[in-house]
Structure 1
Amino acid sequence: MIFKRLFNLFAMGVLLFTICVAPSTKVAAADPSAQPAQKIAVAQALPAPGTYKIDPDHSFAYFGARHHVVGLVRGRFDKVAGTITASQDLAACSVDVTIDVSSINTQISERDEDLRSPVYFDVKRFPTMTYHGRGIRRVDGGSWTMDGSLTMHGVTKVVPLTFTFNGAFSDVKPGRPARMAFHGSAGLKRADFGMGARDNLEELGGLMTTDVEIEIDVEADANSPTQ
């Protein structure tokens, strides 16, 4: 049953999807102690300013949920959509992601149906989960964090997302938009979203740390430049 709770942690979404970055020159200038090699590394860690549309066919949100404290159950959501906006102004970077909760996939159909039921996600009442965030801060030379709001099962909570920019595709065909890749991670407690009270009592006991870990891999295409 704990498996179901773990799925909620994903929404975040979203993905994915919270991978907004700022221009490298701006970041490098903010660190006067950076050496030329460090500036190059920072430049490679940031995409060009603009709006990027998440490609649902090449974006995945995985989760690992604690099972009886020492075990771990893995799964994913197969339908993710949204946009990522990168700006020279770090405070203007944003991410908006929507996940189809019914697309949950743990490779066990009976368990997936149980997770979709009112006992857990209750997809008929709450068909989607969303992640909305604006503004990022640098964790280190290549990692960033956004404090976005995750709405799942009718509950909204702030869930920090840490992400890295993996780079731009070098083999994009002429006439096609630039494509970027990102990786993100987040942690949360399923009980915070009002799901699986029975699991919380029977399987997690007094565990105080996050019991669901999320991994997000996203590919997104450039849409239009920001001003």
Structure 2
Amino acid sequence: MKRIAFAVACAVIAASASAAPENYSIDPTHSAARFGYDHLGWTYQQHRFDQMTGKIVYDKVAHTGSVDVTIDAKSLNTGYALFTQQMQAEDMFDTAKYPTITYKSTGVKFEGDKLVAIDGELTVKGITKPVSLTVTSFAAGQHPVQKRREGIGANAIAKIKRSDFGIAKQVPVVADEVTLTFTVQAFKD
């Protein structure tokens, strides 16, 4: 009987230990924030920010977590130097005054083991608004290439109005609605 009680106690301790939240750091070489919008009704333009860092907390047993991301606004990249400069100007992102963009989660939603949505607050140009991300893919576990490392991979999408964040130049000729996409890979600390 003592052996059964000991075995049950060990199982409870092991289950409690595995339910602990784990911390992950975003891998900036495999993570990016992008945005796209309708340009004059002729094309759909897509640009990216080349530098993104942050922390993720994930509890795979309790299905809870949090996300805290910082984007270097000065890393905005349109693929064309002059246009990148125009996008970083005061009447657009104003990266000299607002060098970072942040996203901090306020809640996460799981369906079974799959993360499906993240609610949070996006701050652009010092303006903070609630933004919900739809998670389009999510994987957690041993990294397929770096076999000794535990990691997380996810893609998420949201639509916002850029004018809500003080970026209204050329609206409505250039669309106010912007699609945000985040590609994130993170490794356990």
Same fold (TM over 0.5): yes
Say if 2:123 is the partner of 1:157.
no
Question: Gapped runs of 5+ residues in structure 2?
Answer: 1-19
Q: Which has a greater percent of strand?
A: 2
* Count of aligned pairs: 167
Task: Quote the offset at 1:154 in angstroms.
Answer: 1.3
Alignment partners' CA distance in 2, 1:186 and 1:141: 22
Q: Which residue of structure 2 aligns with residue 220 of structure 1?
A: 186
1:66 to 1:141, Cα distance in 2 relative to 1, 3 A: farther
CA contact (8 A) 2:105 2:121 kept: yes
CA contact (8 A) 1:139 1:145 kept: no
CA contact (8 A) 1:166 1:183 kept: no
Could you say what secondary structure the match of 1:199 adopts?
coil
> Percent same amino acid at aligned positions?
33
| Counterpart among 27, 43, 47 of residue 55 in structure 1 | 27
1:220 to 1:199, Cα distance in 2 relative to 1, 3 A: same
| Counterpart among 64, 77, 101 of residue 36 in structure 2 | 64
CA contact (8 A) 1:54 1:218 kept: yes
Alignment partners' CA distance in 1, 2:166 and 2:111: 30
Say if 2:182 is the partner of 1:202.
no
Alignment partners' CA distance in 2, 1:127 and 1:151: 11
Say if 2:90 is the partner of 1:85.
no
Task: Quote the offset at 1:143 in angstroms.
Answer: 4.9
Kindly report which structure 2 residues correspond to 1:71-220, keeping only aligned pairs within 5 A, or say none.
71-87=43-59, 88-90=61-63, 92-138=64-110, 142-163=114-135, 164-168=137-141, 169-174=143-148, 177-196=149-168, 198-204=169-175, 211-220=177-186
CA displacement, residues 80-129 of structure 1 (integer Å, 9 cap, x when unaligned): 00011112444x51110000001011101000001111011111110001
Q: Which residue of structure 2 aligns with residue 24 of structure 1?
A: none
Larger Rg: 2
Q: Which has a greater percent of helix?
A: 1
CA contact (8 A) 2:108 2:115 kept: no
Amino acid at match of 1:179: G
Question: Gapped runs of 5+ residues in structure 1?
Answer: 1-47, 205-209
Alignment partners' CA distance in 1, 2:29 and 2:92: 26
Question: RMSD value over aligned CA atoms?
Answer: 2.2
CA contact (8 A) 1:93 1:134 kept: no
1:167 to 1:89, Cα distance in 2 relative to 1, 3 A: closer
Alignment partners' CA distance in 2, 1:117 and 1:111: 10
1:109 to 1:162, Cα distance in 2 relative to 1, 3 A: same
Task: Quote the offset at 1:215 in angstroms.
Answer: 1.9
Amino acid at match of 2:23: T
Could you say what secondary structure the match of 1:135 adopts?
strand
Could you say what secondary structure the match of 1:57 adopts?
helix
Q: Which residue of structure 2 aligns with residue 44 of structure 1?
A: none
